[in-house]
Chains A and B, each alone.
Chain A
Amino acid sequence: MSVRVGKTDKAAAFPVAAKTALKNDQLRANVRRATDTIRGKRALRVEEMPDWQKLRDAASAIKAHTLRHLDEYLVEFEKNCELVGGKVHWARDADEANAIAVKLIKEYGGTEVIKVKTMTSDEVQMNVALEAAGITPIETDLADMIVQMGHDEPSHIVVPALHKNRFEVRDLFRETMQKPELTEQPEELTGAARAYLRERFLKVKIGVSGANFAIAETGGVCVVESEGNGRMCLTMPDVLITLVGVEKVIPRFEDLEVFLQLLPRSATGERMNPYNSLWCGVHPSDGPKAFHVILLDNGRTNLLHDEMERETLECIRCGACLNACPVYRETGGHAYGSIYSGPIGAILSPQLQSLEHSRSLPYASTLCGACYEVCPVKINIPEILIHLRGRVVREEQATLGGKLAVENLAMQGAAIAFKSQRRYEAAQRLAQAGQALFREGDQLENLPGMAGGWTKYRDLRAIPKQSFRDWWKSRSNGGNA
């Protein structure tokens, strides 16, 4: 089995990628404007809910329960889905999922597919596999379409083209749709997109979708969206193939009562999504004539054994943590090197894929807790980040290079100093004396090593000659404890 998450294996370390992003003022302005807007709307829609915290508790409890019994619920889903005419396929990893999709599309004689809600398909890089097999994927979610047209990467899990403003979209549409007369008016842009997409909705016979929820009790699948393009993709084609991560299963239909309140308010600040599509199997006179579900593992089950890691799988991909994150606010999503960006990306990518591909991600956070505060399923992201940092450190320390790394040596040194009053006070003296080399008046300048990153951009007051304990000793003649 080989787990792949988008292009994470080729991604630069977060601090490096972030540095590039920080230079892009347009991108940062777009990200700030967009996240500020969504955050504001979310706050309004959350404040009006007296039972918000209880809903969060309920959601977290349902998800935790489901993940503890995932094996049973998945089998139940499969059974019920097939009872009503669906067909369930199991994919261990990206390659298997893509192979299943390609095989199905070929069997139905398709050369084009329309797609919606495709984050999971981006995770497995399905478009690359489809194109390699001579199949043209057409993204129909407006933002996904913009990303695809621009040969770009999604930068937000709910608003994939959040990094683009309407002027940039206008230019892209002018070029790809050959419509030089387009202006940046939102109505005009959506109008152009509508005309472009309608043509494809009417002619393409196979749809590929993702899903927000898979319901074990009914074998049904649920997609929520704002545009209606999803509804088109789910209902117009003859064949529908839905790719779902195994963690998306929920036990009962009535559980949607909780999630369909939390998700739209958290994701877009809407009370309800404009389009909530739910479907079960196939029906003679309506909708697709064939329905396939691909249940995808791709590293997810590796997280099940550990209680804290497992919590990551409770995510309903609402994006609230991205919009709340002060780091994401500065860098946007591309710096995370994965389709999963922001706080959830920082914990999900390194766990799905082995840590070595994304060792810098658990450190891409100040642990400020803004993500945990807004998460509708109460995933304690800061705690999981710290847990993953522990794994990174342990893995580093297992190698000679890691043992001898400056950071490790400094941390070991500090740990030894902190274990004894005598050594701690000696270290304090050493710091007080050693700073002479870097002292300019009452400031420290050009510090060596990692601390140099501080003094390069920020001032730092020199270490005072008298520590607090010195003061204490002097006033109480040797201390009182």
Chain B
Amino acid sequence: MHIALFVACYNDTLFPETGIAVTRVLERLGHTVTFPLAQTCCGQMHYNTGYHREAVPLVRRFVEMFRDAEAVCVPSASCVAMMREHYEMMAEAENDAAFLADVRSLLPRVFEFSELLANRLQTEDVGATFEHSVTYHPSCHSLRMLHVGDAPTRLLRRVRGLSLLELPKKEQCCGFGGTFAVKNVDVSVAMLTEKQGCVVETGAEVVTALDNSCLMQIYGGLHRSGSAVRTMHIAEILASEGVAR
């Protein structure tokens, strides 16, 4: 399959290893990956913070760029949630029939990374080896907006050497919430403290998720507290072939 990668602006800039891992996994499975270089941001940060007008050109840009893709892979559940929850509504508000038609036709071809693998491509064993204990944090957007269900854990269970440990209170938010993390610093950190405690309690070496945004928050707390637990995007685990990182 020809898969166009929309890596997400923050992954591009802050977490390049995730995009690299996604590319490696998909290519290893025999797919062709393209990366349209003109891509920037899905508009989520602006939209969710209330800058709705400012988000519209970014949505248009995304849609134009990926309109003809066979499938679009996005290693960020919150970006996919932004697309599925708001793009259509935004296009309707723009009163632009062609734009709306493009949105409607494109959205069913946009997949979060684990959805793409487990559901669209029906691949659970991606040929990975990762000899570590891992706990999985189901990010809120993946859980309650994308309803990815057990797709990520089905993938993780097929990784050789990986032992998956259940995260207590896993469905509770990590406290990131985009600009919430800085607008409501104290509450965000209080929420993080509980999440971080749950992660440490599992005894896992690695905590993973579908979103580097949540992982950035969890890393922030773990690392500050001197914990040795590592944060890794699920793609990096699935790309791993057993060589220590």
Contacts and interface: CB of A to CB of B under 8 A. Distances in A.
Contacts of A463: 13-14
Given A373-B144, A471-B20, A458 B192 contact: yes
Interface stretch (A63-71, A286-294, A417-425): A417-425
A421 B140 contact: no
B224 A330 contact: no
A53 interface: no
Overall SS of chain A's interface: helix
A356 B36 CA distance: 43
A458 B190 CA distance: 11
A451 B185 CA distance: 10
Residue of B34, B40, B172, B189 with most partner-chain A CB within 10 A: B40
Contact of A365 (B172, B177, B182): B177
Interface in A433-481: 443, 450-451, 453-454, 456-461, 463-464, 466-473, 479-481
Given A326-B191, A369-B144, A480 B52 contact: no
Contact of A419 (B23, B58, B183, B221): B58
A366 interface: yes
Interface stretch (A73-81, A135-143, A274-282, A384-392): A384-392
Contacts of B12: 428, 467-469
A243 interface: no
Interface residues of A, number: 65
Contact of A450 (B86, B182, B192): B182
B71 to A, nearest CB: 15
Contacts of A479: 35, 37
Residue of A417, A469, A472 with most partner-chain B CB within 10 A: A472
Contact of A369 (B50, B145, B190, B224): B145
Contacts of A383: 85
Interface stretch (B104-112, B126-134, B212-220): B212-220
A362 B57 CA distance: 24
B49 A428 contact: no
B173 A368 contact: yes
Given A424-B40, A472-B35, A411 B49 contact: yes
Nearest to B180: A366
Interface in B64-90: 85-86
Overall SS of chain B's interface: helix
Given A415-B57, A418-B58, A421-B37, A367 B48 contact: yes
A110 interface: no
B199 to A, nearest CB: 14
A390 B52 contact: yes
Given A15-B184, A366-B177, A468-B12, A327 B191 contact: yes
Contacts of B224: 457-459
A393 interface: yes
B182 A330 contact: no
A459 B229 CA distance: 14
Nearest to B49: A389
A370 B217 CA distance: 19
B61 A419 contact: yes
A331 B55 CA distance: 31
A467 B43 CA distance: 20
Nearest to B36: A481
Contact of A415 (B18, B50, B54, B172): B54
Contacts of A443: 223
B144 A368 contact: yes
A232 interface: no
A389 B183 CA distance: 13
B77 to A, nearest CB: 12
B151 interface: no
A22 interface: yes
Residue of B50, B186, B219 with most partner-chain A CB within 10 A: B50
B179 to A, nearest CB: 7
A14 B184 contact: yes
Nearest to B172: A326
B187 interface: yes
Interface in B14-40: 14-20, 23, 34-38, 40
A83 interface: no
A259 interface: no
Which 5 pairs of residues, A with B, have the shortest CB-CB distance? Answer: A366-B177, A458-B220, A389-B50, A468-B19, A369-B144
23 contacts: A15-B186, A18-B184, A18-B187, A22-B186, A327-B187, A363-B184, A364-B184, A386-B86, A414-B45, A414-B46, A417-B40, A454-B220, A458-B192, A459-B219, A460-B216, A464-B17, A467-B13, A468-B11, A469-B12, A469-B35, A470-B16, A472-B19, A481-B36
Interface of A: 14-15, 18-19, 22, 326-327, 329-331, 362-370, 372-373, 383, 386, 388-394, 411-412, 414-415, 417-419, 421, 424, 428, 431, 443, 450-451, 453-454, 456-461, 463-464, 466-473, 479-481
